[in-house]
Amino acid sequence: MSDQVLKIDDLKVSYGGIEAVRGISFDVKAGEIVTLIGANGAGKSSILRTISGLVKPAGGSVFLEGEDITGKDSTFIVSKGLMMVPEGRKIFPNLTVLENLKIGAYLRNDDISKDLERVYGYFPRLRERSWQEGGTLSGGEQQMLAVGRALMGRPKLLMMDEPSLGLAPIVVQGIFEIIRQINSAGTTVLLIEQNANMALHVANRAYVIENGKISMEGTGKELLEDEKVKAAYLGTVSHKE
């Protein structure tokens, strides 16, 4: 199918013999927000790290727009238009905000000023702080920077690893609002979250990962209503906004 941006087929990842991901298949279609939710150690991050080339898979394959990118290095994968917002933000603390953003566009040789304007449009705060070192920003601003940095690569698919990690609820809401905006502007998003409530609200489709396997899938709404998901990830009383 041509509108499939990402297709994962029976992906396996293991660390020194311990299987973290045990045969997972899913796909992401163009224009969607897809989220993977699951508890700590379920293997969510391993999946992302493998897709982006930071970890080599033990088996299975990854297709980006029909092209096999399994086991390719991250430079190649990024150049194909797949950018990641790493877990824990991982901005460059001693580089200025502007330099951080420029690193996001490192593999591009064309004019980046338009994208810079776009990122500043999403996050006006970053424009104010463009000469400040990344390490001096607050947690929320750092997350903005991490998202902005990934957007500078003009990704076809943006992957985010727990953007809500360690942020105040109000900040998290802001970030998710931006994710929605980015998506409606045409970027496909693959989101990994522990904050299942937030994630399921923005997602078109969702997969629940347990012990390295997909245990459930459906639209965001379906899973929000699901009793098992409610009990395991949302608490018995669901927090409606």
CB of residue 222 vs another protein: minimum separation in angstroms?
Answer: 32
- Cβ(133)–Cβ(95) below 8 Å: yes
CB of residue 75 vs another protein: minimum separation in angstroms?
Answer: 4
Comparing CB distances to another protein, the nearer of 87 and 222 is 87
54 binds another protein (CB under 8 A): yes
79 binds another protein (CB under 8 A): yes
136 binds another protein (CB under 8 A): no
Number of residues near another protein (by CB under 8 A): 28
Q: Which of 45, 46, 52, 188 binds another protein (CB under 8 A)?
A: 52
Q: Select from 148, 155, 146 the least CA-distant residue to 122.
A: 148
149 binds another protein (CB under 8 A): yes
Q: Which of 62, 84, 144, 151 binds another protein (CB under 8 A)?
A: 84
Report how far residue 130's alpha carbon sits from residue 158's, in angstroms, rounded to the nearest whole number: 23
78 binds another protein (CB under 8 A): yes
* Residue 127 identity: R
Residues that bind another protein (CB under 8 A): 52-54, 73-75, 77-79, 83-84, 86, 90-95, 99, 102-104, 106-107, 134, 149-150, 153
